[in-house]
Structure 1
């Protein structure tokens, strides 16, 4: 980062490991779970993804901010991360789509950052020790004070962060991405499929994909009751992605149990929504050592592979899933964790990864078509 007035900053991990660097973005102190993302592109989508709520995100790609920021690439109205960790940050962005620099954008939204930090050493440490709480401080606080705050902070396990990021009231969504591929995919329906999306931290790009596949979407809060969902007369229900521990989202799990009992109502879950479906039938989740956060995770079975985008710190325990009720349709081929499930006698399925993120670029888009096909069969 090239700047005339450098201000020192540090990253303190809960195990006492200290990394020094230079401040950028907002000046202050931010506490959260320290995780890393291996993607080479898409930093603005990452920073605005509600699934990253409560986290300090380190980017393994060494250069950040080259293309600046713009309104079209946001997954939410503002950044959702607690803090940003980078090796180098460009203060001279170059892109015809750029509306602001990353530095100024983070400063405007009060997001704390640290750069000129050895992100390779940090990621190697997290791969060995696991994701853990940490704090970025660039406001002159002492490392001793920050370590005391860290040791009093709750771990990610048990945190229901979906209740923090969900919408406060229902709303309609009917727009698609301006990219020609998305506009070309819009299905010419005289009557769109009515879909209720339960917002545990939903990304805008998911809503755009649903619309592109012919759905009229009503987004409802995470704590919605079954009667509130059914009041919209849905032909299908979508359970969204989101942050935190899925086992702590008790109202969402209760809703999923009741939706499953509807027997003939198509339900599609992505990421946290997928995990909630598994928990609702008696399965359990566990925390991954350092999570899956990147753009090139291979998933599949039976010789078919999808290159997928992933962002999650928890996963379904395969042995806990009742095989009489669901089948595991996809595995993460890096570590054999559950990547997708399908109910045997219900029009219900879930995927752990993000088919809307298109790293393949369109390997996994068929999951949206599948959801629509299930609704079409029941018209």
Structure 2
């Protein structure tokens, strides 16, 4: 079916659609990963965004039941150059087309994605409307202008769990062994779910922790009570979507946690929310950093880590007033990780669980255990 794409810089494109038909809004970002499209699409941090894949052919290995990073696809949709008409992998259960239909999301193909990536680099992330229903440019423009901006929407409440639960699964479904090891370790972490990836929870269990996941709006006083009673030994602030500065209540609750000096690890959005809680406002990057191939230098030992990234916002340089900068991104020299000077708190911008991506950043979870 024909599809029509209108960008806020007045670019109008025609292409072809797969997945669910309809009209969808979002912010256009590009991802440089060569593999892992299912993990990327199911990462809740992409809520409200359209993903442009720089890998030219997508869909080759199909999709399966095990590689999802959440139960849903929260991204608005995907834009790709070439859709593979067949898929082949021994783990595959479904085509990419069927996967998007199941999750009621749209895919657009037969596009010059190099052109789109260059445009995003020049103009920054752009708002976009994609439709199989509206073909008139002016109608698309009008609809886009009336739609909400990503900075105005609290996507966290959409992607977070509604009820707390215990996560027992380790890496590669090693449920019983990993969870029994965690029980023996007598260390338990409370995960605040702002859009947590399943593989992060798996890695926390694999590292030897009991893991209980709480909704985004859990009260700090409740966690502090658990901490003082010895029922938890630390708090994990997860990744998630959207503009961190609009999450006023979440930031206020984190500020309460820091005052009690509970050991905390923050990743991605959690990293950004911590910065805001300490009074250092985050800022929006021109086109963000999205991919599984971003080099980061560990300033403690001067080693280079190849990391998985997915963020549009970053913490300011001024954060060094209250935290040691431990990592820097070598693509932009921006702050990538910190250790707070007077608090048992560490945080990183990248995703050390790295699915899909390399594995050399997983020591972060061990450092968190040492803090506890």
Tell me the TM-score normalized by structure 2.
Answer: 0.94
Which runs of structure 2 are paired with 1:329-340 in the superposition (5 Å)?
329-340=326-337
1: CA distance between counterparts of 2:355 and 2:36? Answer: 11
Q: Which of 241, 249, 252 is equivalent to 2:250?
A: 252
Q: Which of 279, 282, 302 is equivalent to 1:285?
A: 282
- The 1:359/1:23 distance shift into structure 2, 3 A limit, reads closer
- The 1:190/1:364 distance shift into structure 2, 3 A limit, reads same
Match of 1:4 in 2: none
**Does residue 328 in structure 1 map to residue 325 in structure 2?**
yes
Unaligned runs of 5+ in 2: none
**Does residue 101 in structure 1 map to residue 100 in structure 2?**
no
> Any runs of at least 4 consecutive aligned residues in structure 1 with deviations exceeding 3 A, and if so which?
183-189
Q: How many residues get paired?
A: 365
SS at match of 1:276: helix
Does the CA-based 8 Å contact 1:308-1:358 persist in structure 2? no
Which runs of structure 2 are paired with 1:258-269 in the superposition (5 Å)?
258-263=256-261, 265-269=262-266
**CA-atom RMSD, angstroms?**
1.9
TM-fit CA distance, 1:142: 2.3
TM-fit CA distance, 1:141: 4.1
1: CA distance between counterparts of 2:357 and 2:180? Answer: 20
Q: Which of 81, 85, 90 is equivalent to 1:91?
A: 85
TM-fit CA distance, 1:175: 0.6
2: CA distance between counterparts of 1:296 and 1:192? Answer: 36
**Does residue 316 in structure 1 map to residue 312 in structure 2?**
no
- The 1:98/1:21 distance shift into structure 2, 3 A limit, reads same
2: CA distance between counterparts of 1:360 and 1:42? Answer: 8
Unaligned runs of 5+ in 1: 1-6
1: CA distance between counterparts of 2:83 and 2:256? Answer: 48
- The 1:188/1:16 distance shift into structure 2, 3 A limit, reads closer
Tell me the TM-score normalized by structure 1.
Answer: 0.92
TM-fit CA distance, 1:29: 0.9
- The 1:58/1:177 distance shift into structure 2, 3 A limit, reads same
- The 1:159/1:188 distance shift into structure 2, 3 A limit, reads closer
TM-fit CA distance, 1:228: 2.3
Which runs of structure 2 are paired with 1:1-379 in the superposition (5 Å)?
7-178=1-172, 190-232=184-226, 233-263=231-261, 265-302=262-299, 303-319=302-318, 321=319, 323=321, 325-357=322-354, 361-375=358-372
